[in-house]
């Protein structure tokens, strides 16, 4: 499975961006999907994700109510709609996928077998 994240850019605080992660190489609907981010000098952190069943979305507390994750199985794509962006959302954003990850590990980057290159998001104040 190959993952390609896109949609990053520069935006002012309060603005919006929509990230997309396109997957290729397997049936997308079989995979749990996650978005992570890493800011300069900080550890990579979980942002949002879907379990393999896709029935429920999970969010980090820092983005709840502002970010929305969605998946389009027919297009092999998972999206991250980011609204009310803050300067502290500035980071490189990564997507990841795994078929066998258990729910309790959905927020653990190292548990994902497939991890894409990131896309830069910069939020100015």
Tell me the DSSP string of 88-114: GG-EEEEEEEESS--GGGTT-GGG-SE
Instruction: Specify the pLDDT at position 121.
Output: 98
Strands 91-98 and 32-38: antiparallel
Query: Which bin fits 26, alpha (ψ -120 to 50), beta or left (φ > 0)?
Result: beta
Give residue-wise pLDDT tens across range 44-85: 999 999 887 767 899 999 999 999 999 888 899 999 999 999
Q: How far apart are CA 125 and CA 122, in angstroms?
A: 10
pLDDT one-digit tens code per residue, 12-54: 999 999 999 999 888 778 899 999 999 999 999 999 998 877 6
Beta bridge partners of 5: 21
């Amino acid at each position: 499975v190959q993952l390609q994240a896109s949609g990053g850019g520069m935006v002012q605080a309060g603005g919006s961006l929509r990230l997309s992660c396109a997957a290729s190489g397997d049936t997308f609907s079989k995979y749990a999907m996650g978005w992570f981010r890493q800011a300069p000098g900080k550890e990579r952190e979980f942002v949002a994700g879907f379990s393999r069943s896709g029935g429920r979305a999970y969010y980090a507390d820092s983005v709840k109510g502002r970010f929305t994750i969605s998946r389009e199985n027919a297009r092999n794509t998972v999206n991250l709609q980011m609204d009310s962006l803050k300067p502290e959302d500035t980071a490189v954003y990564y997507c990841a996928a795994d078929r066998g990850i258990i729910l309790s590990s959905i927020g653990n980057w190292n548990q994902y077998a497939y991890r894409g290159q990131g896309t830069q998001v910069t939020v100015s104040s």
